[in-house]
Amino acid sequence: MEDMNKRILIAIVLSALVLILYPFIIPSPKPPQKEQPESQGQSVQDKEEKPHPLAGTVQISGEMGKEERTVTVETDLYKAVFTNRGGVIKHWELKRYWVDVTRAKNIVLFDPGNVAVAAYPMSVTVGEGDLSKLLNGGFYTVEGGDLALSDKNPKGVVVFTLIDPHSGKGVKKQFTFYNGTYNVDVDITPVNIAGSYTLSTGSNFGIHEWGEKAILGFVGPTTMVGSKVKKEKIGKIKGPLFYEGDIKWTAVQDKYFISALIPKDRVSKVVVKKSGDKDVQSAIEVADGQKTSLMLYAGPKEYERLRGLGVGLDNSISFGWFMFGEISVISWLAKGLFYILYLFYRLSGNYGIAIIVLTAIAKIVFIPLTYKSFKAMKDMQKLQPELQKLQKKYKDDRAALNKAMMELYKTHKVNPLGGCFPMLLQLPVFIGLYNLLASAIELRQAPLFLWIKDLSLKDPYYVMPIIMGISMLIQQKMTPSTVDPTQAKIMLIMPVMFTFFFLNFPSGLVLYWLVNNLLTIGQQVVTNKYFAAK
């Protein structure tokens, strides 16, 4: 998915470079014979180095449950259903996100139904023996009942406990829920377990879109160790993967949603496992039977909400991949553009209008560069007769031709690449906008007008891509040309290629490109009328 994202973007950039550089690399033809806010629970920003008591010193008693019992937790943001069979999550539904624009069905991040999965969310595993089978299949006792949280009742606790009556070993799981946040505080207390154990995200918890539905964005397990984010493509996972070090969080995610475990204390390692083609989970391993506290975040990848957690979970959003050292330049630029876009949305109430305004401002900022590019191309156009004479004169001596051309450029004070450099400087802005518009959940199911009901999806009738292609053709016709008519006709294939590329692109991206083309046409009209003669 992410590779396809890169390949499409690289194809567009290369095509744009062909349009920009072609007239300067080949000025004229050769002769015919030539060729959210952080949790209300414990802070997760700092992980304390402190000793933990061994589980053998923890005194917990309790009977095993006799039958399956479910506990439903509802907040203003989600509905979760837990089962005491394993003390795990069996259903997680987001109340403010829907499958499609009809809003008939909420997004469900986890509910396997009758389908067998490798692990349920919040399952605890201790080795491969009978104890793990009991912990994941036995009936836990339950403290607390169904919760309906609200502003008047903002907090609730549910506790699951299972102690094997024969060995005295078991686990206590305490979940603390808060209204107004997707964060859940999780406390795991192993009983009489001296070795390591793991707590799992569960199979595919956090993945809503697979395959062709996720052309843009990453789908799979992701872990942040120190300042580095490790993403594993599901198709390339052959065996268990292990990460050790300063574990900030581990998660399973798709383009718009994520389920993450965020340790509040230092943990031993992270283990990523795959079972079958589409069954992946990530688990946190805790050493020496220690009690551990974590935070579960299961919800949308809203940038401000993730950033507010203070653990780098916002880095799960694919804002960019062009790296300069350890810094993603495009990611930094895309985040800045996001703040501007969000500001315009707050003012207009429509992300489509916000994209139009942002595109216009970017165009205004680059007016001086665009004018310099236009002027340089006009200067090159004037030199075409002289260049054609030189090509005929030195048609059999390439070195002499290049030297004569450089002398001609120097005499007339023309930079053959002067028309291309200003355009190249705009490419990072375009790529930043591309990543922003392709990744921000804020644009998901955000309407523009009329038939465009979702800016994150393609235009269902392909109206905007076709208009975009026509505008690109007009723009190309208006741009000063330094090639002969035959070459100019060959270059007309570029708008057709771009139209084909953009047919299945999100409407928000097509809108940006279309508005940019229209503004460029307007600028060229003004330049031709008022500035070209000067």
Q: What is the mean pLDDT of residues 418-443?
A: 74
Residue 400 has pLDDT above 90, yes or no: no
Reply yes or no on whether the pLDDT at 26 is more than 70. Answer: no
SS (H, E, C) 117-183: CCCCCCCEECCCCHHHHHHHHCECEEECCCEECCCCCCEEEEEEEEECCCCCCEEEEEEEEECCCCE
> Is the pLDDT confidence value at 271 over 90?
yes
Asked if the model's pLDDT at residue 118 lies above 70, the reply is yes
User: What percent of the chain shows pLDDT beyond 90?
Assistant: 43
Dist CA 420 CA 374 (whole Å): 10
**Mean of pLDDT values over 26-55:** 44
pLDDT at residue 54 in the model: 40
What are the residues whose beta carbons fall under 8 Å from the beta carbon of 456, sequence distance 6 or more?
443, 444, 445, 446, 506, 507, 508
CA-CA distance, 76 to 91, in Å (whole number)? 16
**Cα(511)–Cα(358) distance, integer angstroms:** 11
Q: Are 118 and 275 in contact (CB under 8 A)?
A: yes
Q: Please indicate whether residue 213 or residue 447 has the higher confidence score (pLDDT).
A: 447
- By the 8 A CB rule, do 370 and 520 touch? yes
Residue 390 clears pLDDT 90, i.e. is over it: no
pLDDT digits (tens, 9 = 90+) for 411-420: 877 777 666 6
Domain map of the chain by residue range?
55-307, 346-531
CATH for 55-307 (1.10.1740.10, 3.40.50.1100, 2.70.170.10, 2.70.98.90): 2.70.98.90
| H helix runs in 262-397, sequence order | 303-307, 329-348, 351-365, 367-382, 384-393
CA distance 446 to 453: 7
**Chain mean pLDDT for the chain:** 82
CA distance 230 to 270: 11
CB 164 within 8 A of CB 192: no
Pairing of the two strands 147-148 and 70-74: parallel
Return the pLDDT at 487.
64
pLDDT surpasses 70 at 423: no
Whole-angstrom distance, CA of residue 128 vs CA of residue 130? 7
> Which band of pLDDT confidence, cut at 50, 70 and 90, is reported for residue 6?
low
